[in-house]
Amino acid sequence: MAIDLSAKIPNNVDLDRDPKLRRALEAWQPKYVDWWKEVGPVGYQDKEIFLRTAIDVGSDGWAHFDYVRMPEYRWGIFLSENSPDRKIGFGDVASETVWQDVPGEHRASLRRLIVTQADTEPASVEQQRLLGAICPSLYDLRNLFQVNVEEGRHLWAMVYLLHRYFGRDGRDEGDALLERRAGDRDRPRILATFNDPVEDWLDFFMFTMFTDRDGKFQLLSLAESGFDPLARSAQFMLTEEAHHLFVGETGINRIVQRSAELSRQDANGEAMPHGGIDLPVVQRYLNLWFSSCLDLFGGEVSSNAAAYFASGLKGRPNEAKFPDHVEKNEVRVLEVADDQDRLVKREVAARLAINEDTRDAYIRDCARAVERWNRSIESTGLPYRLTLPSRRFNRRIGEHAGHHFSPSGDPISANLFEQKRGEWLPNAADRAAVRALQQKPVTKPGAFASWIAPPTRGIEGRPLDFEYVRFT
């Protein structure tokens, strides 16, 4: 499908052929820009940022890099290339032709899936809006803003689907997405993690590592959907999402590399006295964000997930890799706590445990990143190692919610958990120490804060001392 970059809303969905839809989206556009100016990045709305903008959906040359002020960013609507012969790959409708319109019986469920995904996109922008004031470098500042504008574009992708396929209900949902606020007591975002504060850059890198990685797996699941416009929207969103994961994974790697180097110089093995972040503090932040993001996959036993799978609405990441695409008569064994907080085996229908398939893949991907960070620590000769906590640790949703476990997954009492909370999760002293290191922004080209190592290369072939954000 041809891409119209000259349109008021860049798109490859032929908006000009549907004047009513085009007018509705053009009416939503100024509301979106007002939202961006109100709760988007603080202090940099008028600055020129070296950003990439989507201009195509092909694998080569899909993005253009140039300076742009964020409120003038060319947010657009892009679906991946159409596959005319595509079939649904799972559930009771496996091998049937994908749907180009919303089946009436699935209207409510599809709207719920799209709204939930859409709500995460503006939430992350709101959570990160204050970080520019304490950035560790222009390189990192630019990456923050790149993540922000692409989360905004992902919101556009979902709002297009709501407007195009859900009529007045969809337009109302699109307006509501701009009315909720991350962390607001009266108008919170839908999912708990997207109401949690992102107070500093260690939070931000953990967010882009773990929360955006959840986004990756949710998009991989939606990319399997029998509703083809949703699948194609998710497929292109994954192209942009890869950069967000890069920012988080490499950002934490640069922190632990610097922390390990500084800890080696200290008699007590501490980095804080030398301007770094102690590795146990990094571990506590890791425990917090990883456990919070495990909740985003939903409960271990979920009738909603089973229904989505059976009806072809939402599959599993890379569904083709699974041996059984129907899972009608299969079972899965879960290890959960009973009423006496003892771990017991529980057998459930495989469809009810579909969320666990996605969570398993997510945990494996996170473990790979942790191994990389540990190699960086090991290269300095320091014996410390980071670990992922158990999937049972610190959960607010699912079979493990309401019970208490150590990071290793052992059942413990509520009293012991509270006693150990400050050892396992960020405490007030951790927060204060990290804030003390991040009081002022580092905005000289090529300079980096004391607590993070420089990256190995710049952006789009530019040097590290490139002016990624222009202040004049």
Cα–Cα distance for residue pair 358/296, rounded to 1 Å: 11
What pLDDT, on the 0 to 100 scale, is given for residue 472?
A: 80
What pLDDT, on the 0 to 100 scale, is given for residue 2?
A: 63
* Cβ partners under 8 Å of residue 202, min gap 6: 255, 277, 281, 282, 285, 434
Question: Over the chain (472 residues), what is each successive 10-residue block's mean pLDDT?
Answer: 83 95 98 98 97 88 94 96 95 98 98 98 98 98 98 98 98 98 98 97 98 98 98 97 98 98 94 97 98 98 98 98 94 90 93 97 98 98 97 97 96 97 98 97 98 98 98 86
What pLDDT, on the 0 to 100 scale, is given for residue 60?
A: 72
Cα–Cα distance for residue pair 113/310, rounded to 1 Å: 15
Q: Which secondary structure element, helix H or strand E, spans residue 331, and what is its range?
A: strand 331-337
What pLDDT, on the 0 to 100 scale, is given for residue 340?
A: 82
Cα–Cα distance for residue pair 30/452, rounded to 1 Å: 38
What pLDDT, on the 0 to 100 scale, is given for residue 4?
A: 83
C-alpha pair distances (Å), 316 with each of 239, 260, 292, 300, 356: 18, 38, 21, 14, 10
Strand partners, 405: 411
What pLDDT, on the 0 to 100 scale, is given for residue 1?
A: 56
What pLDDT, on the 0 to 100 scale, is given for residue 27?
A: 98
What pLDDT, on the 0 to 100 scale, is given for residue 339?
A: 83
What is the model's pTM?
0.97
What pLDDT, on the 0 to 100 scale, is given for residue 401?
A: 95
What pLDDT, on the 0 to 100 scale, is given for residue 366?
A: 98
What pLDDT, on the 0 to 100 scale, is given for residue 274?
A: 96
In CATH terms, the fold of domain 15-470 is Ribonucleotide Reductase, subunit A (1.10.620)
Provide the token pair at 219: 């998009």
What pLDDT, on the 0 to 100 scale, is given for residue 429?
A: 98
Cα–Cα distance for residue pair 174/119, rounded to 1 Å: 10
Cα–Cα distance for residue pair 467/472, rounded to 1 Å: 11
What pLDDT, on the 0 to 100 scale, is given for residue 341?
A: 84
- Check: CB of residue 200 under 8 Å from CB of residue 145: no
The closest of 154, 153, 178, 164 to 110, measured between CA atoms, is 164
What pLDDT, on the 0 to 100 scale, is given for residue 438?
A: 97
How many residues are listed for the chain in this entry? 472
